[in-house]
Structure formats: C-alpha cells, structure tokens
Amino acid sequence: MRLRNILGVLAIGAVFGIAGCGGGGGGGTTTPATKAVVTIAINKSISKLDSLKLKVTNTDGATFTNAVTLNEALASNAFMEAGIAIGDPSNLVSVGLASANGFDVAANSPIVQLNYTVSSGAPTFTVSSVPSSSTFNIVTQQSEQIILNPADFVVKVTYQ
C-alpha cells in the first residue's frame, strides 16, 4: 500500500500531526490514511531494562487495533501488555513492557509498535508516563532506577 502521509518524529509529551500529501506532480489528489503505525524508542542505550510503562492517547479518528514488540524487546521475548484499561477512555492505550532477564535497549531503536485504524483525518498521538507525572521511572536488572524525561523518548508515526 502506498504511503499517503509521510513520517514524523517527536519527543514524547508533544502532540504529533501531519497534513495529507498529494499524489504525483500535476494536481494529484489526497487520499485519506486508513492506518497509523506508532513506534516508540528511547534516545539512549540502557542495559538490562526490566520494565517500562507508558500511555498513548489519540485524538478522534483513530482506533487502537494491536501492539507488538520490536528489535531488542522482541529478541528477548519481553512480555508486553497493551490495551484500553477498564474505566479508561477509548482513546487511551496503556502499555506495559517487562522482561524476566532484562533486555538491552539500543539508542533510537524502536521497542514497541502500536497499530491503529484511521476512520477520519490524521489523528494525533500523545505519549505520557504511568502514573501521570513529568518523568518515567524504569528499573534495570541491576536494581538501578533510571529516570527518563519525555524528551528521552522518540515517537514515529507513519500514516498509510
């Protein structure tokens, strides 16, 4: 399927949106996106990541379908749970990632992918910590607690 809207990268905590792109030269038309693929990475390397929790909120026009682990998280068989918790609004997806043996995170290498169907427009996505705060607390296998700020995360949204 041809990409109809191009990629964007931003820091977590900011809102992302992108305008439609025309077809080829000479008056091409804009075809609405039907899917959004959201990937999340950390901009620094971390050894033996044990757990990470975050929330992804979208504006109207997108419906969460599923999530998968990528790269190091996939290779280590990290356990991931992603979905809409009971009592949460339908546009808020909670993501939890945990690994019994920990896994190494390469800087800027996506570890989580969330997939959405798009029913209208180009929805925006906001990522924040769980519980709501201005920092993310993660734990490594060496019981080292690392505090990450929203700017330490990289989110890429691809509209298709």
The pLDDT tens digits of the residues spanning 94-137 come to 998 888 888 888 999 999 999 999 999 899 888 887 666 666 66
The model's pTM is 0.76
Question: What's the average model confidence in pLDDT over 12-29?
Answer: 41
Query: For residue 145, what are the β-bridge partners?
Result: 139
Domains of the chain: 8-19+33-159 (2.60.40.680)
**CA nearest to 45, candidates 140, 160, 132, 158:** 140
Cα 130 from Cα 137, distance rounded (Å)? 9
Cα 45 from Cα 64, distance rounded (Å)? 28
The pLDDT tens digits of the residues spanning 101-111 come to 888 889 999 99
